[in-house]
Amino acid sequence: MAYDDLRSFLRALDREGDLKRIKAEVDPYLEVGEIVDRVQKAKGPALLFENVKGSTMPLAMNVFGTERRLAKALGLKGPEEISEKIAGLLKPELPQGFTGFRDAFGKLASMAHVPPRHVKSGDAPVHEVVLTGEDVNLDDLPALFTWPQDGGSFFNLGLTHTKDPDTGIRNLGLYRLQRHDRRTIGMHWQIHKDSRNHAAVAAKRGEKLPVAIAFGCPPVVTYAATAPLPGDIDEYLFAGFVAGERVKMVDCKTVPLQVPADAEVVLEGWLEPGEMLPEGPFGDHTGFYTPQEPFPALRIDCVTMRRRPVLQSIVVGRPPTEDGPLGKFTERFFLPLLKIIIPDIVDYDLPEAGGFHNCVIVSIDKKYPKHAQKTMHAIWGAHMMSLTKLIIVVDSDCDVHDYREVAWRAFGNVDYSRDLTVVEGPVDHLDHASYQQFWGGKAGIDATRKLPEEGYTRDGGWPEMVSSDPETAALVDRRWKEYGL
């Protein structure tokens, strides 16, 4: 099962020797970031800084820094476990016989654990301490100044809760938060994000927007906040589905929102229409600084927390970082859903070096001329995959996760005068390479075998790949030990 809260997971890692407690005083200005960046690039342990300069609150870092740790946090053997579960739920076949009925009942039973469960304030650990008014002081929380040209100190793993003023549908998002002063934080709501839309609707109605930001949530909730779900899909339903049990929620003290009852710290406030402050620069997950821009400024009216809370954060920057395991799990989880939208896809890979959204490698079982181009345009029309800048399409016999194999196909199977597709479209808010913000050029590379109908007219058609003689390969397998190699 998934862990109910952050601290129980940290205790489990401690018992296994996969958590390093750092008792020496460390400075959140640059020093913590340098330590964490080195450890996470070395695939090192989770870190618990117990003595952070300027704060009495311990700081948990690199908690999801390896795929093994993330799987353990979510109560899974690996990402394929949920991928298979999602694929099973998507199958519409009717039960046949007792076995089919049992399988269908099992699917329904698994969904019964999905809806979040409301608990009273007195039963919520996050309400053990409540601070309001002048008692609120964000300086008590260890915010990170990670890179030399950052515009200030940031909280990088605060889970932001909002709801659509028109529909009441809530959204759980993960956005960086700049600490402007002891009671104000900047909300980096990018143009394509749901919380930005909620703020725009509230402003149009002349209303304040209630906001709650939770830190140190149950691991499955933190993961769900990173998942690129459609706006009408509740992240807490998805969290419950992954965990196999309902997430406990509690009403906030001063805003009409709910947050995880087992969170470590929660900030509550009302966003006034038009309240903006300069936010950034910030060394982002692209590995480059994003520029300073005006973003909403939230006044914090209430802080609730556990006794002796632990704050969780991450360091982002040039890959690989802690984003890596989170992105790879999302890649695997959403393959069955992507296949529903684009059934042409056999498999896909989102390289971490591309920030997961800059490049997609996709394999197809090619059936007709320009099948690769059709797949490219389908991907550019699929929700947040519309931000993809480079798509490489290969045949189904190519392992999309083997970058050497993909490179061999892309370098050798392409006539760039015919097999390169260039279009324009939306790009990520953080993209620094586009000549103007929010949109730019994209490319698709058709690295599949070419058909005569596509204009490939060379004698003999597309050549065969070089491969070993099967009988000789089997002989060498049998005699391998005799060679002494």
What CATH code is carried by the domain that includes residue 194? Answer: 2.30.110.10
Nearest to 83 by CA among 326, 337, 398: 337
Active site residue 284: yes
Nearest to 73 by CA among 250, 325, 352: 325
* β-pair type (289-290, 282-283): antiparallel
Two tokens at 425?
């479209």
| Cα 469 to chain centroid, rounded | 44
Of the candidates 294, 312, 330, which is a domain's last residue? 312
* 235 occurs within a structural domain: yes
* 139 occurs within a structural domain: yes
Determine which one of 284, 323, 344, 347 is catalytic: 284
Q: What's the confidence (pLDDT) of residue 161?
A: 97
Residue 368 sits in the same domain as residue 266: no
Alpha carbons 139 and 133: distance in angstroms, whole number: 14
Residue 135 sits in the same domain as residue 22: yes
Residue 223 sits in the same domain as residue 282: yes
The tens place of each residue's pLDDT in the chain, 485 residues long, gives 789 999 999 999 999 999 999 999 999 999 999 999 999 999 999 999 999 999 999 999 999 999 999 999 999 988 888 888 777 766 655 455 545 545 655 555 555 567 899 999 999 999 999 999 999 999 999 999 999 999 999 999 999 999 999 999 999 999 999 999 999 999 999 887 888 999 999 999 999 999 999 999 999 999 999 988 776 778 998 899 888 889 999 999 999 999 999 999 999 999 999 999 999 999 998 899 999 999 999 999 999 999 999 999 999 999 999 999 999 998 998 888 888 889 999 999 999 988 888 999 999 999 999 999 999 999 999 878 899 999 999 999 999 999 999 999 999 999 999 999 999 999 988 889 999 989 999 999 999 999 999 999 998 899 999 999 999 999 999 999 999 99
Instruction: State which residues form the domain around 252.
Output: 6-92+109-312
The answer to whether residues 278 and 151 touch, using CB atoms and an 8 Å cutoff, is: yes
Q: What's the confidence (pLDDT) of residue 92?
A: 57
- Residue 258's φ and ψ, nearest 5 degrees, are -115, 150
The answer to whether residues 446 and 398 touch, using CB atoms and an 8 Å cutoff, is: no
Residue 279 sits in the same domain as residue 388: no
Residue 120 sits in the same domain as residue 44: yes
* 326 occurs within a structural domain: no
* 218 occurs within a structural domain: yes
* Angle at 334 (CA atoms; ends 232, 324), nearest 5 degrees: 110
Q: What's the confidence (pLDDT) of residue 107?
A: 59
Residue 304 sits in the same domain as residue 366: no
Domain count, the chain: 2
Q: What's the confidence (pLDDT) of residue 106?
A: 57
Residue 284 sits in the same domain as residue 372: no
Two tokens at 386?
């519309």
For residue 285, the SS3 value is: coil
Residue 306 sits in the same domain as residue 347: no
Q: What's the confidence (pLDDT) of residue 90?
A: 62
- CATH code at position 395: 3.40.1670.10
Nearest to 141 by CA among 154, 126, 123, 125: 154
Residue 359 sits in the same domain as residue 305: no
Interhelix angle 235-243/219-226, rounded to 10 degrees, is: 130
Alpha carbons 249 and 260: distance in angstroms, whole number: 5
For residue 432, the SS3 value is: coil
Residue 144 sits in the same domain as residue 41: yes
Alpha carbons 162 and 259: distance in angstroms, whole number: 10
- Residue 223's φ and ψ, nearest 5 degrees, are -60, -45
* 217 occurs within a structural domain: yes
Residue 308 sits in the same domain as residue 367: no
Place of tokens 């309001």: 132
Q: Where do the DSSP E strands lie in 62-183?
A: 117-118, 129-132, 154-155, 159-163, 170-174, 177-181
For residue 440, the SS3 value is: strand
Q: What's the confidence (pLDDT) of residue 191?
A: 81
* 419 occurs within a structural domain: yes
* 405 occurs within a structural domain: yes
* 287 occurs within a structural domain: yes
Residue 204 sits in the same domain as residue 116: yes
Q: What's the confidence (pLDDT) of residue 382?
A: 85
